[in-house]
Amino acid sequence: MLSVDEARARILDGVRLTDAEEIPLDRCLGRVAVPGVRAEIDVPSFANSAMDGFALRAADAPGPLPIAGEVAAGRGDLPVLAPGTALRIMTGAPLPPGADTVVPLEEATEADGQVRVPAPLSPGRHVRGQGHDTRFGEELLLGAPMAAADIAVLASIGVARIAVRRRPVVAILSTGDELVPPGEPLRPGAIYDANAPALAAAVRDAGGEPLALPPVRDAADDTDERLRDAAARARLVLTSGGVSVGRHDHVRDAIARLGSLDLWRISVQPGKPLAFGSIDGTPVMGLPGNPVSALVTFELFARPLIRAMLGLAGDGRVHLPARAQQRMPKDTPRRAYLRVRLAHAGRGYEAQASGGQGSSQLRALSAANALLVVPEGIPAAEPGESYEAIVIGGME
């Protein structure tokens, strides 16, 4: 069986970037800008005041200086500051020609139309110089995926549309004769399809565009037909279920029949039976059916693959050391990803099981804010010992 790291390396091998598309600024949240965006103006494009106060020449301190007028933010036709005078100035207003410093209101004393200021004053105080934030021609290093501050940077240089990586379309196929979509009555022996909605959300969160398709029957012909169709319509096909060794598990054989099967079975818990290959050049990942297995293997293998298509490295998660608060057994020598709740403890973090660790026990995954990585070969996470935690949720 392949290790998690070997399997991930194979899955990421030869991944192709999606092409670029241009979108308006208000659609940029969470998107990945194509590198090489350059500023075409200085920001600010003129020297301006950082405070409400008085613009003057530092050499004229302490005054008193006659207040010769006012400059408000947004003003284009600037008065010239005559030597030996001051101009009232507002935050963000252009520094008038002749002035070299700003004295904040709090430091100034006004009387009879004159102002006294502290002395000595150094030129440039409380003045935001041209290009103080961004310089013309500078390459912008935007966060990826873009957050509110990145959108602010783009807006500040006047950009209204920007080239981003197209979100890869990811087809999602649940398999199983037992599956019923949420919202419909449950017939005897049936269960609700938890994976398709969950995987669609996980795809979106990773930066992809989910293409939700109806569930696939547990039959070889239906599996072949639906996989071929999905491969033609998407950049990546994710299936869930039907990859194990049961008599009605058809996904692995279908991938091998229709294309090529690159790997099957990974030394991981949960999620051992994952299958990966390609059909007509489209990568196909057969995730295990148990919902916890499906989502944890999505996290470990599909999320980095979707990100790689966007030009992003890694899983985009915080990894940090956390001490186990209790003994958490794992029932195989495989590397385990336990569902835990992290909490601050002193300067570090402690991890506690967030519920039952069975691969169908979704509630523990829902309650978890991290996966605790318990290495190969040991039987349990031991209390007080430190393990790598992958932060997948928020923390109080």
Which residues are CB-neighbours of 45 under 8 A, at least 6 positions away?
130
Residue 291 touches which member of Mg ion, ligand AMP, none, C-beta under 5-8 Å by kind? ligand AMP
Distance of alpha carbon 295 from alpha carbon 96, whole angstroms: 60
Sign of the CA dihedral 316, 322, 325, 327?
positive
**Site size for ligand AMP (CB under 6 A):** 18
Which part of the chain contacts ligand AMP (CB under 6 A), choosing from 1-9, 133-141, 227-235, 286-294?
286-294
Residue 135 CA, chain-centre distance (Å), reads 27
Asked if 138 and 43 count as a contact pair (C-beta separation under 8 A), the reply is no
- Cβ 259 to Mg ion shortest distance, Å: 21
291 forms part of the interface with Mg ion (CB under 5 A): no
Distance of alpha carbon 71 from alpha carbon 92, whole angstroms: 10
Residues 63-102 that bind ligand AMP (CB under 6 A): none
- CB-wise, 59 or 219, nearer to Mg ion? 219
Residues 196-215 that bind ligand AMP (CB under 6 A): 196
The 159-198 contact track toward Mg ion, x by CB under 5 A, reads -----------------x----------------------
Q: Maximum distance among all alpha carbons in the chain?
A: 96
- Cβ 356 to ligand AMP shortest distance, Å: 15
- CB-wise, 45 or 361, nearer to Mg ion? 361
Which of 240, 282, 325, 369: binder of ligand AMP (CB under 6 A)?
A: 240
Distances (CA, A) of 101 to 3, 43, 57, 128: 64, 19, 6, 10
Residue 96 touches which member of ligand AMP, Mg ion, none, C-beta under 5-8 Å by kind? none
Distance of alpha carbon 132 from alpha carbon 45, whole angstroms: 9
Q: Are strands 53-56 and 101-104 parallel, antiparallel or unpaired?
A: antiparallel
Residue 277 touches which member of ligand AMP, Mg ion, none, C-beta under 5-8 Å by kind? none
Asked if 354 and 338 count as a contact pair (C-beta separation under 8 A), the reply is no
273 forms part of the interface with Mg ion (CB under 5 A): no
Residue 304 touches which member of ligand AMP, Mg ion, none, C-beta under 5-8 Å by kind? none
286 forms part of the interface with ligand AMP (CB under 6 A): no
- CB-wise, 134 or 223, nearer to ligand AMP? 223
Residue 375 CA, chain-centre distance (Å), reads 27
241 forms part of the interface with Mg ion (CB under 5 A): yes
Please report which helix (H) or strand (E) contains residue 153, including its range.
helix 148-156
How far from each other are the two terminal CA atoms of the chain, in whole angstroms? Answer: 38
Q: What residue number has its CB nearest to ligand AMP?
A: 289
**Residue ranges in contact with ligand AMP by CB under 6 A:** 174, 176, 178-179, 191, 193-196, 240-242, 244, 246, 288-291
